[in-house]
Amino acid sequence: MSPAPGMKPRSDPGMNQLFFAFPGNLETPTGGYGYDRRIIAGLRDLGWRVELVPLGEGFPQPSAMTLASAEKQLAALPSSALVVIDGLAFGVMVAAAQELCNDLRLIALVHHPLCLENGLTPEKAEAMRESEHKALAFARHVIVTSPATARQVADLFGYPADRVTVVLPGTDRPEAIPRERSNVVRLLSVGTIVPRKGYDLLFQALSAMPDNNWHLEIVGGLDADPECYRSLRSQIEGLGLAGGITFRGAVSPEDLTGFYSNADVFVLASRYEGYGMAYTEALAHGLPVIGSGAGAVRDTLPEGASIYCGVENVGALREALALLITDTAARSQMASAARMAAAALPGWPDAAAQFARTLQELAE
């Protein structure tokens, strides 16, 4: 029977239907968008009908016009629809969440709290925290990508722990391939060029290394924060590292695999990560890992296969780099441990199945 004039159609909970709302471009090559894409594909493989709802550009600082358009799109969804909204947008959509929470079953997917992004002024960080706090109050459930983020959702926003589900990212397990020996240790870092990724810390640490026995490849988008990229280029010149560092920009997932396969050591000097998919991808490719940062980093890095360097600790980064650049045996031992550690990580089908179970419980 058709709905009465002016009424929205009701969704059929028996159809396993989900609306997945996201900001920006879903194909953006970052860990957060990569998680979204793989979960969506996995849900569809499990028989879910997933319809995409693009919310527009500019999040988490969208224009008033973009916010209004995003709310209009969500308001047009069927009554009682199950809707996952990526946290990059959800955290600043307070008015929409309040308006729609009784008509839609809203689920926030929080990769990491918005207020913990580096480079925010204290006033902006507090505004972000307050906004996300208010918005999450209207979510029926929150899905996060790590236990560390689950704790932060509780501590920062007072969200009930029994309404939070951790769905760890999956990790692909490529076949082991022999690496060609080289006189130069090939370092790899993967992450968008923004202050949170700590490339400035990494460059400081590398400035003490001899410049003839290593080379660093950086894979990650250059356009997210042009001022950060300019500052890093200037830092490289000032430290005399121009010949040892290459920015590759954003690459496709297929090409990224090649970078992992050609590297000897993975290093990412983050200040904070909600999970750190690049770390687990490196482990799965059999790379010894050097990592740093708050959030989930310490939990993500397994002993024996990695060296955790704390938060903004350039000295610890320098020591770890010196060890793995100069000690072939240490690299080999940690590479073997990395493969073993990766075998215990969940795959993407596991992640999608857990995500689906959470949705099914909410749908019922």
**CB-side exposure of 211: number of CA atoms within 13 Å?**
10
- Residue 257: which domain range? 185-343
Instruction: Give the CATH number of the domain where residue 291 resides.
Output: 3.40.50.2000
Instruction: Evaluate whether residue 255 is within a structural domain.
Output: yes
Residues 111 and 138 in one domain: yes
Residues 83 and 214 in one domain: no
Instruction: Evaluate whether residue 6 is within a structural domain.
Output: no
Tell me which residue of 108, 114, 165 sits closest to 139, measured CA to CA: 108
Mean pLDDT along residues 197-226: 93
pLDDT tens digits for range 320-332: 999 999 999 999 9
Yes or no: say if 294 and 276 are a contact pair by the CB < 8 Å rule: no
Instruction: Evaluate whether residue 177 is within a structural domain.
Output: no
The whole-angstrom separation of Cα 287 and Cα 265 is: 6
Which stretches does DSSP call E strand in the chain? 17-22, 49-54, 82-86, 105-110, 141-144, 164-166, 185-190, 214-219, 245-249, 265-268, 272-273, 289-291, 294-295, 306-308
Average model confidence (pLDDT) across the chain: 93
Residues 275 and 352 in one domain: no
Residues 208 and 331 in one domain: yes
Number of domains in the chain: 2
Residues 200 and 106 in one domain: no
Tell me which residue of 179, 178, 113 sits closest to 142, measured CA to CA: 113
The whole-angstrom separation of Cα 78 and Cα 67 is: 20
On the question of pLDDT at 175 being above 90, the answer is no
Instruction: Evaluate whether residue 178 is within a structural domain.
Output: no
On the question of pLDDT at 4 being above 50, the answer is no
Instruction: Evaluate whether residue 1 is within a structural domain.
Output: no
The whole-angstrom separation of Cα 237 and Cα 155 is: 41
Residues 156 and 260 in one domain: no
Burial of 178 (0-12, 13-18, 19+ CB in 10 A): exposed
172-53-148 Cα angle (round to 5): 45
Tell me which residue of 191, 198, 203 sits closest to 241, measured CA to CA: 203
pLDDT tens digits for range 219-256: 999 999 999 999 999 999 999 999 999 999 999 988 99
Residues 96 and 220 in one domain: no
Residues 104 and 208 in one domain: no
DSSP class of residue 84 equals E
Residues 147 and 286 in one domain: no
Residues 237 and 95 in one domain: no
Alpha carbon 345 to chain centroid distance?
16
Instruction: Evaluate whether residue 8 is within a structural domain.
Output: no
**Crossing angle for the helix pair 31-45 and 277-284, to the nearest 10 degrees:** 70
| Residue 229 pLDDT | 97
Residues 165 and 210 in one domain: no
On the question of pLDDT at 199 being above 90, the answer is yes
Residues 251 and 317 in one domain: yes
Instruction: Evaluate whether residue 65 is within a structural domain.
Output: yes
Alpha carbon 346 to chain centroid distance?
16
The whole-angstrom separation of Cα 316 and Cα 249 is: 27
| Residue 1 pLDDT | 37
